[in-house]
Amino acid sequence: MTDQDFHPGLTPGHLGAPVMEPEGRPPSAPRPRPDAPDPHRRRNGLACGLTALALIAVFGGGGLTGYTWLQSQRKPPAAADYAGQGNGSVQVSVPEGAGLSQIASALVRNGVVASSLAFTRAAKGSAAAAGRIQPGTYTLKQRMSAAAALAILIDPANANGLTIPEGWRGYQIYAAIDKKLGLPEGTTQHTAQEQGSELGLPDFTNGSPEGYLFPATYSVTDGTTALDLLKQMVERAGKEYTRDDANVVAQNLGQTAYGLVTVASMVQGEADNTADMGKVARVIYNRLAKGMPLQLDSTINYALGRSTLNTTVTETKLDSPYNTYLHPGLPPTPISNPGRQAIMAALDPTPGDWLYFVTVKPGDTRFTDSFEVQQRNVAEFNANRAAKPSASASGSTASSGAASGSAPATP
């Protein structure tokens, strides 16, 4: 390629360029006259031009038709959908963590909506539906429009689910199941005791469900039994405890799988907020490594079947295997049913040398490896407690430097 390809305006003979004379012709010689145009050539050129225009029109029109067809094919196909509010009645369960596709499949399977596509499109096109479909069991009708079904599902009041909060103990969960299912008091606890072998618990739990009743929202239908719900909770806990290479991590931390669950349950009971959970877990592991008693008030509360911030010195001498002031090591079982964040804290504790902690006031938990600093923090905790009328009336003051979120009081 020459430079002329890049500078066409400088090509000899181009408009505006210097005119170059042909070699061998004197400057004064007259220019040769061009030959007269050939009329036949003109007609042939005109015919070719007309033919080319005709071809462009034909193929251009065909291209436009093809483009229009292609665009029509790109439009999403119409989704099968019913019209109206439907008829009859059917219950559809939405499990924890279910996505739109899973929910849509359940609706189609139960004859609620005509197609999964109609429902997913309705949900994705609704700003109100984003993250609004809660786990539970919904009473819907058959042959509903996708929009009508969605309107019921995004209203939490229509979710007939049982929600178990993080950190609840077994007896609290049993009572909640009894109430939800309309059972006589004590029915679910009796079921757990008499049919424990059917729950799917690991052998090392020795049949105790504590720690394996995972906190979540569970679907409840007309046919749901107490055993059904307990089995669902145990199954969900099993999945949570086998995630993230939990068995390997437990060994690296010097714990068994059951020990890890127990640590998570104490973290759930002791931490003032989720941000402190990793630190609380580290204090527990550090004290275990040094052979120090854990001195956790939450374990005494579990033994006494209560929840309180006041632990007396007398109570720290309680004759119970759950008294971690008196007995070193972990308690014999978990003391609550921890949630995902407490489990993650037990699996991945925050690095640190802390041996003590106390929640001086809500939102202010202090961690230290110094007993003297801990004593000063406990003194501030007691001062804050004494400033409250209820605390002043009880006269509770701290006298020990425990590793607990609340300090033990004098008798």
Question: Could you write out the three-class secondary structure of the chain?
Answer: CCHHHCCHHHCCCCCCCCCCCCCCCCCCCCCCCCCCCCHHHHHHHHHHHHHHHHHHHHHHHHHHHHHHHHHHHHCCCCCCCCCCCCEEEEEEEECCCCCHHHHHHHHHHCCCCCCHHHHHHHHHCCHHHCCCCCCEEEEEEECCCHHHHHHHHCCHHHCCEEECCCCCCHHHHHHHHHHHHCCCCCHHHHHHHHCHHHCCCCHHHCCCCCCCCCCCEEECCCCCCHHHHHHHHHHHHHHHHCHHHHHHHHHHCCCCHHHHHHHHHHHHHHCCCHHHHHHHHHHHHHHHHHCCCCCCHHHHHHHHCCCCCCEECCHHHCCCCCCCCCCCCCCCCCCCCCCHHHHHHHHCCCCCCCCEEEEEECCEEEEECCHHHHHHHHHHHHHHHHCCHHHHHHCCCECCCCCCCCCEECC
At which of 104, 124, 159 does a domain end?
A: 159
Residue pair 93/137 in contact (Cβ under 8 Å)? The answer is yes
Residue pair 242/234 in contact (Cβ under 8 Å)? The answer is no
Instruction: For residues 196 and 268, state if they share a domain.
Output: no
Question: Residue 70 above 90 pLDDT?
Answer: no
Q: What's CA 277's distance to the chain center, in Å?
A: 18
Mean pLDDT across the chain: 82
Instruction: For residues 172 and 279, state if they share a domain.
Output: no
On whether residue 8 sits in a domain, the answer given is no
At which of 128, 144, 159 does a domain end?
A: 159
* Structure confidence by residue, pLDDT tens digits, 50-64: 555 555 554 555 555
Instruction: For residues 135 and 110, state if they share a domain.
Output: yes
**Measured distance CA(179)–CA(162) in Å, rounded:** 10
Q: Identify the pLDDT of residue 400.
A: 40
Instruction: For residues 250 and 350, state if they share a domain.
Output: yes
Residues 6+ apart with CB under 8 A from 141: 85, 86, 87, 88, 89, 90, 112
Count of domains for the chain: 3
**Measured distance CA(153)–CA(34) in Å, rounded:** 88
Instruction: For residues 399 and 264, state if they share a domain.
Output: yes
On whether residue 73 sits in a domain, the answer given is no
Bridge partner list, 359 = 365
Domain containing residue 115: CATH number: 3.30.1490.480
Question: Residue 299 above 60 pLDDT?
Answer: yes
pTM, full prediction: 0.73
Instruction: For residues 111 and 230, state if they share a domain.
Output: no
**Measured distance CA(154)–CA(152) in Å, rounded:** 6
Nearest of 367, 350, 351 to residue 403 by alpha carbon = 367
Lowest mean pLDDT among 39-53, 64-78, 371-385: 39-53
What domain range includes position 369? Answer: 244-409
On whether residue 324 sits in a domain, the answer given is yes
Q: Identify the pLDDT of residue 249.
A: 87
Question: Residue 45 above 70 pLDDT?
Answer: no
Count of residues in the chain: 411
pLDDT band at 379 (very low <50, low <70, confident <90, very high): very high
Instruction: For residues 182 and 285, state if they share a domain.
Output: no
**Measured distance CA(226)–CA(323) in Å, rounded:** 31
Q: Which residue has the higher pLDDT, 91 or 20?
A: 91
Q: Average pLDDT in the 214-235 region?
A: 94
In the structure encoding, which two tokens stand for residue 233, read together? 């909770």
Question: Residue 316 above 80 pLDDT?
Answer: yes
In the structure encoding, which two tokens stand for residue 143, read together? 């042959």
On whether residue 30 sits in a domain, the answer given is no
At which of 159, 179, 199 does a domain end?
A: 159
Q: Which residue has the higher pLDDT, 30 or 249?
A: 249
Instruction: For residues 262 and 348, state if they share a domain.
Output: yes
